[in-house]
Each structure stands twice: as C-alpha cells, then as structure tokens.
C-alpha cells in the first residue's frame, strides 16, 4: 500500500544576508492514513520548516533541491505553483494547527465567519451547510455553547477553548493530513491531556494521517505511532515509537532521554548533552552531531562520511554511526 | 522554628478589578490565606496551573506585591524581618538578601548593556560596592561560579543562546550575595538538555552558596527531580504540601492526583491513564465557595457539593498537609 505522504530526500535552504542556511538536509519521511508520525528535536532542528514545506508555506527566500519529492496522494506537492493546486494543500487535503491558536484566527473576524469562509473556499457547499458543519465541529471538539462561540472573537475565549476552536477549524474541511506544530506546548498539563485525547479520538474517527511536532518526548510517547528524531536539520533516527524510546540507538536520541526528568525515575541524574547546537551557518560536515557526541573521534571518519540512515531492526533506521565511529548503539 | 528562613502566615493578596468605569469594583482573589514555612537550605517547589497564584505569592514574599492580610517573616541570622512592617532601611537590606531570577534578563534590560553591566546593575543600584574594581571582582567571581565565559562579559546581549542567557540571569540574581532566591519558571522556555544543565547548576550553587530557593514551575517532573518540599496551588489556595517524594508517591488531594496523572508518561505502553479534568480553572474574580476545586473535581464527596466546607490544611503524615475537606 502506498503512503498517504512521502517526503523523499528533501533539503530546505534559506538565502539570508549571512549566506545560505541549511535548515533541513536530505530527510525522508512517510505518514500513513490513520497514523501519527511524531517529529521530535530541540528548537532549531528543522521541525517547523519540514511541516511548512508540505504546505509550501516557507517564505520567498526558500530553496528546495530539484530532486526532492513530497508526494501527497500521488502528487508531488513541490511542483505545485497554481492557485488551484496550492489550495489543495492549504486547508484542503492538509491543515495545520499551531502552538499559538491566535496565529490561526484573524483577530477582527468572528470565529464562525472564518470557519465558514474557509469551508466555502474548499468545499462545494452553501453558507448554511458550512455553518452547520462548523457548529457541529465546534461541538465535536468539546466546546459547550457552540452556537454562541460561533459568534465570538478568538480573544474572547480562554486558552484551552481557543486551542479547541483552532482544531475544529482545521478539521472542518476534513483534511487527509493534519500537521500539528507543538499544539500543546503552551498548555497546562491538565489541558494538554484533554487536547491529546481529543486529537487521538479524532484521528480514530476520521482516519487522517498526522504529523505531530513536539520537543516533549512524553507527549511523543502518548500520541505517536512512529517517531523521527531531528537534529540540526537531519533525521538521525526514526522508527516505531516503542523502538525509539525503549531501544534508542543514536547518541543524540540517547542524550535527549538522559536529559529528561522522568517522574518515574527520580534517582536518575539529569545529564545534559555537552556543548551547544552549532549555528546552521556552521553546520558540521559529515555527522551533524559530532561536535557534541561523546563517541566523536577527531581523527576519525565522522567528519568525512556523509550521514545515511541504515535499518538496524525492522522499520528502525539510524545514522550509520558504525561506519563512522564504530558505534553500533 | 529557627531553621525556617521564611514564614508565610495567613497571607492573602487581592487585586482590585473594574471592568469599566461604570461597573462595580470587584476583587481578584489571587492568593488566599496561605501558610507555608520554607526551611533554610530548602529547594521549595510551587506547582499549579496557570492563574493559580504562584507568581503572585512569589512576588509577595519578595516584597514586590502588597499583602492584603496576614504577614511574612524572613528569619535572618541576627534578626527577623516582618515584610508587612519594614523600615526603609530594612527593606533595602532585605532586597539584597532576597532576589528573583528573571525569566529572561534581556526582555527586561536595555540591549545596549553589556553582560558585565547587566550582572553589575544590582550592585550599583543597591550601592553594595564602593569601587569599580570591587564591582568588577564580584561580577567576575559570580560569572565564574555560574560557568559563564569571562570573555562574554564584554559582549552585548544579542546572539546568546537560551542557556547562556539563563546563566546571566542567575549571575545577576546572585551577585548581591542573597540568601533566598525565587526562580519563577526559570527553565520553562529551555530545551531539555539545557534545562538539565541549568537545574544542575542551580543545585550546585545552592550547596556552594547556602541558598534557599522558591522554585515556581508548572512542570511536575522537573519539580519532582529538584525540590525537597512541594506545595500544590489551585485558584489561590495551597491544596496539598509535603516532602517531594512522599507527595509524588502518595498524593491525597483530588487535584494533585489529577495533575500527576496528566503528566505524559515517557513509556508508550502506559497510555491515557490521565484522570481527565473537565473544563478549566475558574476565574479568580468569582472563586467557587467551599472547596475551590469542586467545579472540576472528578469525584466530589456528598459533602463537597454544597460549598459549605471551609478550606484549610491538615497534617496527614508528618510534614504532609492536605486540604481538610478532601480528607474528611
Ligand atoms: N497585577 C495584577 N492585577 C490584577 N490581577 C492580577 C495581577 N497579578 C495577577 N493577577 C491575577 O491573579 C491570579 C494569579 O495570577 P498569577 O500570575 O500569580 O498566577 P500564576 O500561578 O503565576 O500563573 P502562570 O502559571 O500563568 O504564571 C490570576 O487570576 C491573575 O490574573
Ligand atoms: N525564513 C527563514 N529564513 C532563514 N532561516 C530560517 C527561516 N525559517 C527557519 N529558519 C531556520 O531554520 C532552522 C530550523 O527552524 P525550525 O524548523 O523553525 O526549527 P524547529 O521548528 O525545529 O524549532 C533554524 O535554524 C531557523 O533559524
Ligand atoms: S557518527 Fe560518530 S560522532 Fe556522529 S553521532 Fe554517530 S557516533 Fe557520534
Ligand atoms: S474537597 Fe471534595 S470537591 Fe474538593 S477536591 Fe476534595 S473531594 Fe473534590
Ligand atoms: Mg518550531
Ligand atoms: Mg506565573
């Protein structure tokens, strides 16, 4: 069966005053219908840029490599240029939700009016139908008094409610793929638990594919089926969620887990990953993680051999550390 | 008694609120009848949802928020300071002894100040040092303790990473040689690896400099790792408080239980054990009478509904306090 989404060999670069920045390099990912791909990594690792590429939302100074492909429903999104085509990936087949729900809503337009307008753009329906779909969706995400909220502005809602309204708007067009970029990061844990459960229920109900971006490995453990770990624009490890969290192979994935305070293991010391993330302007050659990796060998091959994921267990892919540094996890 | 550094006694903080000039004046009950003792050398954690009153309480203890009733005593070696009744001179002394770690020093300070000037500012404002050399020495010493590169002192704020900025913030808070530090969401914006590094640094500085912390955070896993005592706040009240391990292992209050169960487990096989709370924290303008948590409590007792029970902590194990209505 073919995947709902397949990203192949994608590079994303930005031309800036300081030079060309490599934000994402040679990543390949896939998402299946009804499944959640979690993308995890520290800030600046390229998670948002990856998601935006799928909707072609990166700004004008963006450069995509010619041989990259982003295949959604058998079409290469990167070739899309016409309004008609772009519409398909911006609110049609693909919707996005963000950390800050105000980013989704225009402040001076009522929530309902925005939902209706969006539906009219993407669906062949009339205003009344759009209104009833919107109100039903607001109800579905657990908003009480949906009819009243429909006529309110986003700023009039509380934080958790706004998050729900944004999800309702993203889902009302019935996208095949939902991109969720840190949708729970700004929320309290109790509200986060509500939103996670809501998203899980909805995925089950509508069988959409999801990319769920977060820097929180706990959230990943709760929502994802598969995980990709990103560092400085590269995917260094990917595979089924259980494999990645219980049997991590890459030194960066292990480092992230050792730095994480686990409430069920209070005696474990918190071990930071040494050093700092280099600027994307001085992206290390060869292995991107070598400036911070405990196994890095200055005389070794890790600066000379390029990164390449190899399959170590069924479906579990890791950068070829074995060839570069003799590390096999 | 004298091993306490801070005693907070029946403290409430209200803010006046008026929607517009014709509507009637109302009160925001941000902090309600709080009693806590912070032991010398403690890493005291304060947790709770947004709007529960953590920052307001922290600021009250620093003397930065006016207390509406009750009192707060700072027990220094030689004397007690009563924050509700302090002379100008004492207030000045107290400011040196109790400091806040800013979440981000650059948000508050001029981008044209060098890192050295940012760290030195409290010394100058409080007139602690007598010469430029003395100031420089203090700045260099504390910067080294915070593992800041001395070279960086001459640089300007921009282009520092989140972790480095937090170190600058810590150095600035510590330069006046305080005994008590309020750290309000000091690691909230950091990536896990940098967070681990800063938490380790705070621990190390605590030992080296005999510090006592009030550590405010909404992240329970972090608090469980670093704090020895934890108080759980909800809508202006402390609903449970106790030694960290005891409290996390054996939570008694319905809110604490729900909060703990909501932490996303790192184990993919342990999914959705969260006790889901309905709705959100009510407004502090109209807190529910009786138990403030009852509008969201997953399993209120028969007695809880009427809102007639009075809140207040009762000791269920040595040092482990729980709101009394949740116990009966
Ligand atoms: N200066 C003020 N004037 C009016 N109301 C205030 C003021 N400061 C705080 N409040 C109110 O007091 C209550 C407690 O706020 P506080 O900032 O202490 O919460 P918090 O627990 O620190 O929340 P967060 O986790 O979001 O930082 C809230 O209802 C808040 O809106
Ligand atoms: N429009 C842009 N121009 C230049 N650099 C950018 C742009 N957008 C993102 N970047 C850079 O690309 C890298 C990846 O960013 P991002 O995907 O936002 O990270 P994440 O979402 O993982 O935190 C960062 O170094 C960021 O500064
Ligand atoms: S290739 Fe070498 S330096 Fe890079 S992550 Fe693997 S072991 Fe570390
Ligand atoms: S007192 Fe009653 S309503 Fe309040 S938290 Fe306890 S059980 Fe729930
Ligand atoms: Mg991002
Ligand atoms: Mg606060």
Domain boundaries, chain B: 4-227, 249-328
B225 touches chain A (CB under 8 A): yes
Asked if A282 has any chain B CB less than 8 Å from its own CB, the reply is no
Q: How far apart are CA B299 and CA A270, in angstroms?
A: 36
CB contact A300 to B (< 8 Å)? no
Touching check for B191 and chain A: CB below 8 Å?
Answer: yes
Phi, psi of B210, deg, nearest 5: 50, 50
Instruction: Test A266 with B225 for CB contact under 8 angstroms.
Output: yes
pLDDT of residue A329: 59
Q: Choose among B212, B295, B292, B297: nearest CA to B257.
A: B297
Report the C-alpha gap between B133 and B120 in whole angstroms: 11
Q: Please report the atom of ligand 1 found closest to the CA of residue B48.
A: 21
CATH top class, domain A5-93+175-328: alpha beta
Using one digit for the tens of pLDDT, what is the confidence trace for A171-184? 999 999 999 999 98
The ipTM (two decimal places) reads 0.89
Q: Which of A272, A273, A276, A277 to mutate to test the interface with B (most CBs of B within 10 A)?
A: A272
Residues sharing a CB contact under 8 Å with residue B131, sequence separation 6 or more, in sequence order: none
Judge whether A86 is closer than 8 Å to chain B, CB to CB: no
Within a 10 A sphere around the Cβ of B250, how many other Cβ atoms? Answer: 12
- Supply the DSSP string of A126-141, one letter for each residue: -HHHHHHHHHHHHHHT
pLDDT digits (tens, 9 = 90+) for A33-74: 999 999 999 988 999 999 999 999 998 899 999 999 999 999
Can you tell me the mean pLDDT for A198-217?
Answer: 93
CA of A150 from ligand 2 middle (Å) equals 34
Q: What are the phi and psi torsion angles at B37 (to 5°)?
A: -120, 130
| Extents of the domains making up chain A | 5-93+175-328, 107-173
Mode of pairing for the β-strands spanning A69-72 and A62-64: unpaired
The answer to whether A234 and A317 have CB atoms below 8 angstroms apart is: no
According to the model, what pLDDT value does residue B236 have? 96
pLDDT in tens, A226-282: 999 999 999 999 999 999 999 999 999 999 999 999 988 999 999 999 988 898 888
Cα-based distances in Å from B47 to A8, A109, B226, B255, B298: 44, 36, 13, 11, 20
Are B242 and B319 in contact, with CB atoms under 8 Å apart? yes
- pLDDT of residue A295 exceeding 80: yes
Structure tokens of A167?
Answer: 């999800």
B26 forms bridges with which residues in the sheet? B17
Which candidate in A141, A161, A162, A188 is best for mutational testing of the B interface (most B CBs within 10 A)? A188
Ligand nearest to the CA of A59: 2
Is the CA virtual torsion B66, B70, B74, B80 positive or negative?
positive
Q: Evaluate: CB of A43 within 6 angstroms of ligand 2.
A: yes
Which residue is associated with the tokens 């600046």?
Answer: A44
In ligand 3, the atom with minimum distance to the C-alpha of A293 is 8
H helix and E strand count, chain A: 11, 13
Chain A partners within 8 Å of B225 (Cβ): 261, 266, 270
B234, B52 contact by CB (below 8 A): yes
Residue reference for tokens 């220094």? B76
Q: What is the pLDDT of residues A89-123, one digit of tens each?
A: 998 999 999 888 888 899 999 999 999 999 999 99
Tokens of A101: 């729900």
Give, using CA atoms, the residue closest to atom 1 of ligand 4. Answer: B326
Take residue A276 and report the two structure tokens written for it. 């700092």
pLDDT at A10 over 70: yes
* pLDDT at residue number B308: 75
> Measured between CB atoms, does A141 come within 8 Å of chain B?
no
Convert A252-289 into a string of H (helix), E (strand) and C (coil). Answer: HHHHHHHHCCCCCCCCCCCCCCCCCCCCHHHCCCCCCC
The distance of B205 to chain A (nearest Cα, Å) reads 16
d(CA B263, CA B248): 12
**A113 alpha-carbon distance from chain centroid:** 28
Query: What is the CATH architecture assignment of B4-227?
Result: 3-Layer(aba) Sandwich (3.40)
Contact B191 A260 (CB under 8 A): no
pLDDT exceeds 80 at position A328? no
- The response to whether residue B294 sits with its C-beta less than 6 Å from ligand 4 reads yes
Taking the C-alpha atoms of residue B73 and residue B146, their distance in angstroms, rounded to an integer, is 29
Binary contact (A191, B267; C-beta < 8 A): no
Tokens coding A297: 């060998």
> Which of B162, B259, B272 is facing A189, going by the closest CB pair?
B259
B326 lines ligand 4 (CB under 6 A): yes
Q: Are B240 and B45 in contact (CB under 8 A)?
A: no
End-to-end CA distance of chain B: 29
Task: Give contacts of A262 with chain B, Cβ < 8 Å.
Answer: 221, 266
Between chain A and chain B, the number of residue pairs with CB atoms below 8 A apart is 122
CB neighbours of residue A69 within 10 Å: 16
Per-residue tokens: A82:
């016409």
For residue B198, give the 3-state DSSP assignment: helix
As given in the structure block, the two tokens for residue A49 are 């840029």
Output the CA–CA distances (angstroms, integers) from residue A261 to A269, B220, B272, B322, in the order listed. Answer: 8, 9, 20, 26
- B197–A contact, CB cutoff 8 A: yes
What does the pLDDT profile of chain B (328 residues) look like in tens digits? Answer: 459 999 999 999 999 988 778 888 889 999 999 999 999 999 999 999 988 999 999 999 999 999 999 999 999 988 999 999 899 999 999 999 999 998 777 777 778 899 999 999 999 999 999 999 999 999 999 999 999 988 889 998 777 888 888 999 999 999 999 999 999 999 988 899 999 999 999 999 999 999 999 999 999 999 999 999 999 999 999 999 999 999 999 999 999 999 999 999 999 998 867 788 888 888 888 888 889 998 899 888 777 766 777 889 999 999 999 998 777 5
Residues lining ligand 1, CB < 6 A? B 15, 28, 30, 48, 50-56, 218, 284
Mark the residues whose beta carbon lies below 5 A from ion ligand 6. B 55
- For residue B211, CA distances in Å to A81, A207, A243, A317, B242 come to 60, 54, 42, 46, 20
């Amino acid at each position: 069966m073919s995947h709902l989404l397949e990203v192949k060999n994608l590079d994303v670069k930005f031309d800036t005053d300081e030079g060309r920045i490599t934000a994402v390099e040679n990543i390949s990912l896939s998402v299946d219908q009804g499944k959640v791909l979690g993308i995890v990594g520290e800030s600046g690792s390229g998670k948002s840029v990856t998601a935006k590429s799928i909707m072609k939302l990166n700004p004008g100074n963006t450069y995509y490599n010619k041989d990259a492909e982003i295949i959604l429903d058998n079409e290469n999104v990167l070739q899309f240029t016409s309004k008609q085509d772009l519409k398909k990936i911006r609110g049609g087949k693909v919707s996005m939700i963000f950390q800050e729900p105000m980013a989704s809503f225009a402040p001076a337009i009522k929530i309902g009016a925005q939902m209706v307008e969006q539906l009219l753009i993407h669906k062949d329906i009339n205003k009344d139908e759009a209104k009833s779909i919107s109100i039903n969706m607001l109800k579905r995400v657990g908003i009480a008094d949906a009819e009243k909220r429909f006529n309110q502005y986003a700023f009039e809602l509380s934080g958790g409610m706004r998050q729900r309204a944004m999800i309702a708007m993203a889902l009302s067009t019935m996208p095949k793929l939902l991109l969720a970029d840190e949708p729970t990061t700004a929320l309290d844990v109790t509200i986060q638990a509500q939103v996670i459960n809501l998203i899980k229920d909805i995925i089950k109900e509508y069988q959409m594919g999801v990319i769920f971006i977060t820097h929180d490995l706990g959230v990943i453990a709760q929502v994802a089926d598969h995980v990709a770990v990103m560092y400085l624009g590269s995917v260094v490890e990917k595979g089924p969620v259980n494999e990645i969290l219980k049997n991590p192979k890459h030194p960066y994935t292990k480092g992230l887990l050792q730095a994480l305070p686990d409430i069920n293991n209070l005696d474990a010391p918190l071990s930071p990953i040494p050093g700092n993330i280099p600027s994307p302007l001085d992206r290390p050659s060869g292995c991107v993680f070598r400036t911070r990796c405990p196994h890095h060998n200055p005389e070794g091959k890790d600066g000379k051999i390029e990164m390449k994921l190899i399959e170590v267990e069924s479906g579990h892919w890791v950068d070829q550390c074995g060839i570069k540094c003799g590390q096999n996890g | 008694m004298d091993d306490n550094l801070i005693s907070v006694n029946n403290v409430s903080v209200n803010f006046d609120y008026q929607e517009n000039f014709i509507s009637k004046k109302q009160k925001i009950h941000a902090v309600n009848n709080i009693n806590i003792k912070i032991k010398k050398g403690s890493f005291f954690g304060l947790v709770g949802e947004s709007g529960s009153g953590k920052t307001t309480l922290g600021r009250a203890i620093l003397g930065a928020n006016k207390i509406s009733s009750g009192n707060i005593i700072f027990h220094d070696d030689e004397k007690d300071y009563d924050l509700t009744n302090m002379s100008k001179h004492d207030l000045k002394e107290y400011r040196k002894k109790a400091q806040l770690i800013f979440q981000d020093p650059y948000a508050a300070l001029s981008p044209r100040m060098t890192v050295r000037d940012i760290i030195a500012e409290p010394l100058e404002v409080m007139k602690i040092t007598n010469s430029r050399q003395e100031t420089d020495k203090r700045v260099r010493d504390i910067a080294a303790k915070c593992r800041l590169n001395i070279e960086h002192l001459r640089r300007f704020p921009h282009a520092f990473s989140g972790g480095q900025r937090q170190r600058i913030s810590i150095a600035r808070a510590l330069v006046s040689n305080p005994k008590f530090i309020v750290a309000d969401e000091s690691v909230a914006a950091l990536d896990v690896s940098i967070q681990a590094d800063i938490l380790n640094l705070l621990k190390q500085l605590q030992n080296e400099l005999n510090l006592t912390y009030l550590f405010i955070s909404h992240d329970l896993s972090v608090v469980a790792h670093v704090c020895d005592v934890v108080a759980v706040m909800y809508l202006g009240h402390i609903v449970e408080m106790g030694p960290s391990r005891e409290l996390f292992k054996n939570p008694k209050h319905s809110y604490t239980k729900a909060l703990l169960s909501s932490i996303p487990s790192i184990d993919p096989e342990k999914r959705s054990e969260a006790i889901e709370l309905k709705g959100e924290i009510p407004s502090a303008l109209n807190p529910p009478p009786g138990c403030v948590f009852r509008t969201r409590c997953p399993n209120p007792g028969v007695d809880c509904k009427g809102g007639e029970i009075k809140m207040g902590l009762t000791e269920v194990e040595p040092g482990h306090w729980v709101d009394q209505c949740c116990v009966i």
